[in-house]
């Protein structure tokens, strides 16, 4: 210590002459551009998935309804309300937000005398920071989840275009768990699924590698998981919250994965259906399609004696006779059906109601009847030449292929239609062409332009991979016939398919023409129902909807009380709606008979 040490501290006095460094108006201080201040939420973009609530470790977020936000498919109608008494501004809610709608402003000063005002719905209460550009946003290239799906392995086009081997290989265990891991368990998909399957629950089962639990969840609402796991229209995936980040989850393939893992002989044990107590009531089911099978399953679980009458020689309905084997192998249909059979459900094939047995007879012999007869009549374009013998209906051809009948494929084929049935028949015929001629000469022409073609995108892509030519936006005009043989199809340009009100009302440009050479034409523009098994008296009592479907109540009960109707003749057409109908009808029949 020295004398210097006594004097030196006095140099601090020099600060008296220096301007103070403190911020003069702290309330007006602008925070950094990345500052984590009060939340903003883009209410239009937000889908109310609740992931923000899920990750908030302070339990600061509640999902609440909001006036003007409607609950609809893919949007729960709920919006996050934040309690700033609990929020710790960590911004994990911003990072996990599936739609990136939730962000933060860099506002951090707000004075209010009422503590309750600090609990509000960001974006809904016109806060001064709602339009603030600056503030924390989820950084680029930074994800707390994998936004992209695990790619499904398919057989290469060169290997598949000559055979009917199943194209999609299915997930391995590792792939399935990785894909299931992406699910955020918001459950938005449940409402969209016609059968309201417990999707997050069975995905969780995949994640936990608990296949038995997975199977139990599947069978709660869907007794045809092998079928659905392959050909379901997967509407659920169209509302998956993860699609806003990247890809929707492969929900359908995960369902298939579960069903594929469990051997058929273990089903009864897992699902605890070994000892079902039977009652003495008898139910007749017309049609062994998805609706009928589903109804039969749930009725059998309730102890009813169920008998299914099927016009064709095998079970599955459209899933067997309308969907090609490369998409849905027959043995997988059999796996689902055999389990239902093992519960005591009787099947009588090659029996057409209305011809072999009358509906009235069924009514006499059984306590209730369920009809799920589907759409098996192909619609025709009714253009010139469409009554030629080489102009076929897609559904008829697909049925013949499934039945093992040989089909006389020609060298050049034109398929009319832009839906999945058109793709199915085209790809089936292309395989047969390849087997017979060693090359594919097949054109699909649809009314719709490619962006609005109803077929699934992967169907279009795979068709092209199999060397099928797709010619969208052409309207069929006339089939050219020379010397009694089909020579091709005249088409004109289709400008638009739907009018401004969204009704089917195609407009054409007659001057833009094209001619597709062909020896064979297949029409795949839709199917109709065959209700000829109803007697005239019954048809008069049967109420129909404006859309020419059978009118039923919520339990699939028709205007004839003992008659329950479901499947494609009521809604759809698609497999999962039919399954849902079957389930509802089973419940309806149970109610109906227990009230009797």
Partner 1 sequence: MTDINKHRDKFPQKNPDGTNIIDLKSGKFIKVWQGPNHPGITGNMSLELTIQGDEIMECKTHVGYLHRGFEKLMERRRFIQCLPICVRIAVPEPDFNEYCLTSTVEELAGLKIPDAAKWMRTLLLEMSRLQSFLMWIGGQAGAFGLGIIGQWSNYVRDLVLDRFEEITGGRIYHMHMIPGGVRGLTPDGFEKRMEETLQEIEKVMKDIETTMFNNSIFKKRSIGLGYIDPSMVFEYGVTGPNARAAGIPKDVRKDYPYLKYNELDFDVITGKNSDAFTRADIRRKEIHLSIDLIRQMMVKMPKSGDYMAKVPNVLHWKIPKGETYVRAECTRGEFGYHTVTDGSGYPRRINVRGPSYTHAVALMEKLAIDVNIADTAGLMVSLHTYPPEIER
Partner 2 sequence: MKNLIERLKKQFKISEVVFQRDNEIFLTVEKMDAVSMITQLRDLEGFTHLVLLTAVDWLEEGYFQLTYLLNNYEKKTDLGVRVKIDRDKAEMTSIHHLWKTAATYQRELKEMFGIDFPGSPRVDESFILEGWDNIPPYRRDFDTKKYSEETYFPRPGRKTHDPAEYMKKKLYPED
Q: Give the chain's largest Cα–Cα span.
A: 126
| Cβ atoms < 10 Å from Cβ of 167 | 22
Task: Answer left, alpha or beta for residue 98, where phi above 0 means left and psi between -120 and 50 means alpha.
Answer: alpha
Q: Choose, by CB under 8 A, the member of 64, 88, 153, 461 that binds partner 2.
A: 64
Cross-strand pairs, 436: none
- Residue 142 site contact among partner 2, partner 1, none (CB < 5 to 8 Å, cut-off depends on kind): partner 1
Tell me how far, at minimum, the Cβ of 191 lies from partner 2, in Å: 4
User: Residue 17 or 457: which CB sits closer to partner 1?
Assistant: 17
CA distances from 495 to 398, 525, 540, 561 (A): 31, 18, 40, 47
Residue closer to partner 2 (CB basis): 188 or 323:
188
The entry of partner 1, partner 2, none that residue 562 binds, CB within 5 to 8 Å by partner kind: none
Binding site for partner 1 (CB under 8 A): 1, 4-6, 8-9, 11-12, 15, 21, 31-36, 51, 54-55, 57-58, 88-92, 95-96, 104, 136, 139, 141-146, 178, 181-185, 204, 207
Write out the two tokens for 512. Answer: 């833009």
| Binding test (CB under 8 A) with partner 2, winner from 46, 49, 82, 217 | 49
Question: Can you list the positions of beta strands (E) in 26-148?
Answer: 39-41, 61-65, 78-83, 102-104, 119-120
Residues numbered 159 to 188 that lie near partner 2 (CB under 8 A) are 186-188
**Residue 49 binds: one of partner 1, partner 2, none (C-beta under 5 to 8 A by kind):** partner 2
Answer with the entry of partner 1, partner 2, none that 147 interacts with (C-beta below 5 to 8 A by kind): none
> Among residues 206 and 228, whose Cβ is nearest to partner 1?
206
Q: In which region does residue 257 sit, left (phi positive, over 0), alpha (psi from -120 to 50) or beta (all else)? A: alpha
Asked if 150 is part of the footprint of partner 2 (rule: CB under 8 A), the reply reads no
- Residue 204 CB, nearest distance to partner 2 (Å)? 13
- State whether residue 296 is helix, strand or coil: helix
Choose from partner 1, partner 2, none: what does 63 bind? Cβ within 5-8 Å by kind.
Answer: partner 2
Cα 291 from Cα 289, distance rounded (Å)? 6
Say whether residue 200 binds partner 2 (CB under 8 A): yes
Residue selected from 31, 43, 83, 478 as contacting partner 2 according to rule CB under 8 A: 83
Please say which residue, 210 or 384, places its beta carbon nearer to partner 1.
210
Residue 77 contacts partner 2 per CB under 8 A: yes
Region 117-146 residues binding partner 2, contact defined as CB under 8 A: 119
Tell me whether residue 186 or residue 375 sits nearer to partner 2 (CB atom).
186
Task: Report phi then psi at 136, rounded to 5.
Answer: -70, 130
Beta-carbon contacts of 456 under 8 Å, excluding residues fewer than 6 positions away, are: 420, 423
Interaction pattern, residues 536-575, with partner 2; x per rule: CB under 8 A: ------------------x---------------------
What are the DSSP calls for 386-435, one per residue? TTSTTEEEHHHHHHHHHTT------SSEEEE--SHHHHHHHHHHHHHHHH
Nearest partner of 366 among 313, 304, 318, judged by Cα: 304
Cis status of the peptide bond prior to 388, with omega within 30 of 0? no
Rounded to the nearest 10°, the torsion over CA 106, 112, 115, 116 is -80
Q: Which one of residues 48, 214, 417, 572 is an interface residue with partner 2 (CB under 8 A)?
A: 48
By the criterion CB under 8 A, which residues form the site for partner 2?
48-50, 53, 61-65, 71-73, 76-78, 83, 85, 116, 119, 186-188, 190-191, 196, 200, 554, 584
């Amino acid at each position: 210590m020295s004398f210097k040490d006594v004097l030196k501290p006095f140099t601090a006095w020099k600060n008296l002459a220096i301007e103070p460094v403190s911020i003069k108006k702290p309330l007006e201080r602008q925070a950094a551009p990345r500052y984590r201040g009060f939340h903003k939420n883009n209410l239009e973009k937000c889908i109310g998935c609740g992931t923000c609530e899920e990750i908030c470790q302070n339990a600061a977020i509640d999902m609440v309804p909001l006036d003007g936000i409607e609950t609809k498919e893919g949007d729960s109608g709920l919006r996050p309300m934040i309690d700033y008494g609990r929020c710790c501004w960590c911004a994990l809610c911003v990072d996990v937000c599936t739609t990136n709608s939730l962000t933060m402003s860099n506002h951090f000063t707000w004075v209010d005398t009422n503590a309750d005002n600090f609990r509000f719905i960001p974006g809904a209460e016109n806060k001064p920071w709602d339009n603030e550009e600056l503030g924390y946003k989820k950084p680029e290239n930074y994800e707390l989840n994998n936004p992209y799906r695990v790619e499904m392995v398919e057989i290469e086009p060169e290997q598949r275009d000559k055979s009917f081997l199943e194209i999609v290989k299915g997930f391995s265990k590792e792939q399935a768990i990785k894909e299931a891991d992406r699910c955020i368990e918001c459950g938005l998909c449940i409402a969209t699924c016609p059968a309201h399957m417990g999707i997050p629950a069975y995905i969780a089962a995949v994640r936990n590698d608990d296949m038995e639990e997975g199977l139990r969840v599947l069978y709660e609402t869907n007794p045809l998981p092998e079928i659905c796991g392959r050909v379901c229209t997967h509407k659920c995936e169209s509302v998956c919250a993860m699609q806003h980040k990247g890809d929707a989850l492969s929900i359908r393939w995960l369902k298939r994965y579960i069903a594929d893992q469990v051997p058929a002989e273990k089903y009864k044990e897992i699902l605890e259906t070994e000892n079902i107590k039977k009652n003495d009531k008898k139910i007749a089911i017309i049609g062994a399609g998805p609706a009928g099978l589903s109804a039969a399953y749930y009725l059998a679980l309730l102890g009813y004696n169920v008998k299914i009458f099927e016009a064709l020689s095998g079970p599955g309905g459209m899933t067997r006779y309308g969907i090609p084997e490369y998409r849905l192998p027959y043995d997988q249909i059999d796996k689902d059906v055999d389990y239902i059979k093992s519960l005591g459900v009787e099947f009588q094939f090659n029996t057409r109601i209305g011809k072999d047995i009358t509906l009235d007879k069924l009514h006499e012999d059984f306590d209730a009847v369920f009809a799920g007869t589907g759409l098996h009549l192909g619609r025709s374009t009714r253009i010139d030449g469409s009554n030629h013998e080489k102009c076929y209906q897609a559904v008829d051809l697909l049925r013949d292929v499934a039945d093992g009948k040989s089909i006389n494929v020609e060298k050049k084929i034109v398929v009319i239609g832009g839906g999945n049935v058109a793709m199915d028949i085209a790809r089936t015929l292309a395989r047969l062409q390849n087997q017979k001629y060693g090359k594919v000469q097949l054109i699909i022409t649809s009314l719709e332009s490619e962006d609005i073609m109803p077929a699934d995108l992967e169907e279009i892509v795979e068709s092209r991979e199999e060397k099928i030519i797709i010619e969208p936006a052409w309207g069929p005009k006339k089939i050219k016939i020379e010397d009694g043989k089909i020579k091709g199809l005249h088409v004109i340009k289709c400008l638009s398919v739907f009018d401004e009100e969204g009704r089917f009302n195609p407009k054409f440009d007659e001057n833009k023409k094209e001619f597709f050479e062909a020896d064979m034409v297949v029409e795949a523009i839709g199917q109709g129902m065959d209700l000829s098994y109803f007697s005239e008296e019954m048809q008069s009592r049967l109420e129909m909807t404006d859309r020419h479907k059978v009118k039923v109540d919520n339990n699939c009960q028709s205007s004839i009380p003992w008659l329950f109707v479901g499947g494609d003749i009521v809604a759809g057409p698609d497999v999962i709606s039919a399954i849902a109908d079957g389930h509802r009808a089973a419940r309806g029949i149970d109610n109906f008979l227990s009230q009797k």
